[in-house]
Amino acid sequence: MNLRQMEVFRAVMLTGAVGRAAEFLHVSQPAVSKVLASAEERTGLRLFDRVKGRLIPTEDARRLYAEVAHLWEKVEKIRMLSHDLANPVSRRLSVVTSPSLGVSLLPRLIADLQAQEPDLMTRVDFHVGGDLDQSVLDQNADLAVTSLPIDHPNVSTLARYECALVCVMHADHPLASKRVIVPADLIGHKLIEFPHTLFYGLSQAQVYEKALDRLDVSVEVHASHSACWFASAGTGVAVVDALTVAGGAFPGLGVRPYNVAAK
């Protein structure tokens, strides 16, 4: 894979869909599809299964993404250095975060920061899981905002906050009539699943408890905000963190507290 193919592959893995990858890269959707197809042809790998118009990463894609994400750190470092050399500024802050926090929380935090420090240039990049703390360790970023706990002797944690889980569904979904959702309530409904371990450090057993073996997973996506878009379209329900849905970013979405401790 060449660098352009890696960039497109990474964007699709981060966003969970060709359309959102195109928005992420500021290119057309057909352009993303063309590069993705050429990447599969060049590597001889099937990177995604096409299921009813959706892209589901294969196991090969997941393994490949881990290496591409690591390499992309180096590519971004070169890109940022060349940009900084050509456009020097006196004060700069580099922040790395997960896609869901970058959609909901971080824009408002940066707006508040700009009000206090108007001459500060802020750069924001998106990564997943363990890549966040590694960016700080490699000094590719000054600060990480993450939903995963980080325990490393060379990384200082400035602040910790609790964030609840919520269940999201279409506003007309039967579960929208409940005040609080518990794992047993998910049985009998289509479930939109995404990797909670990668984003929250929570196993499926921790999220779904005894209901795990009886769940009907109809859609798999790679990020919580993708799960919300699918839920708002009526394809099922999903369990995500409360920050993903902060600010009413998803029209037609019902949001209810999710309690794994309730009986």
Collect all residues with Cβ–Cβ distance below 8 Å to 50 and sequence separation of at least 6.
Answer: 56
In 3D, which of 146, 128, 111, 149 has the Cα closest to residue 70? Answer: 128
Q: How many CA atoms lie less than 13 Å away from 42 in the CB half-sphere?
A: 13
More confident residue, 157 or 137: 157
Residue 236 has pLDDT above 90, yes or no: yes
Q: What is the mean pLDDT of residues 184-211?
A: 90
HSE value, Cβ hemisphere, 13 Å, CA-based, for 8:
23
- The amino acid present at 109, given as its one-letter code, is L
- Among 209, 214, 254, 202, which residue's Cα sits nearest to residue 231? 254
- Burial bucket for residue 132 (CB in 10 Å: 0-12, 13-18, 19+): buried
Query: Quick one: pLDDT band at residue 90, thresholds 50, 70, 90?
Result: low
pLDDT at 76: 79
pLDDT at 47: 93
CA 258/CA 240 separation, integer angstroms:
9
Query: Which of 6-10, 88-92, 119-123 reaches the highest mean pLDDT?
Result: 6-10
pLDDT, mean of residues 10-24: 87
**Which amino acid is residue 25, in one-letter code?**
L
Which pLDDT score, from 0 to 100, does residue 126 have?
79
Which pair of tokens denotes residue 175?
Answer: 């579960």
Q: Is the pLDDT of residue 128 over 70?
A: no
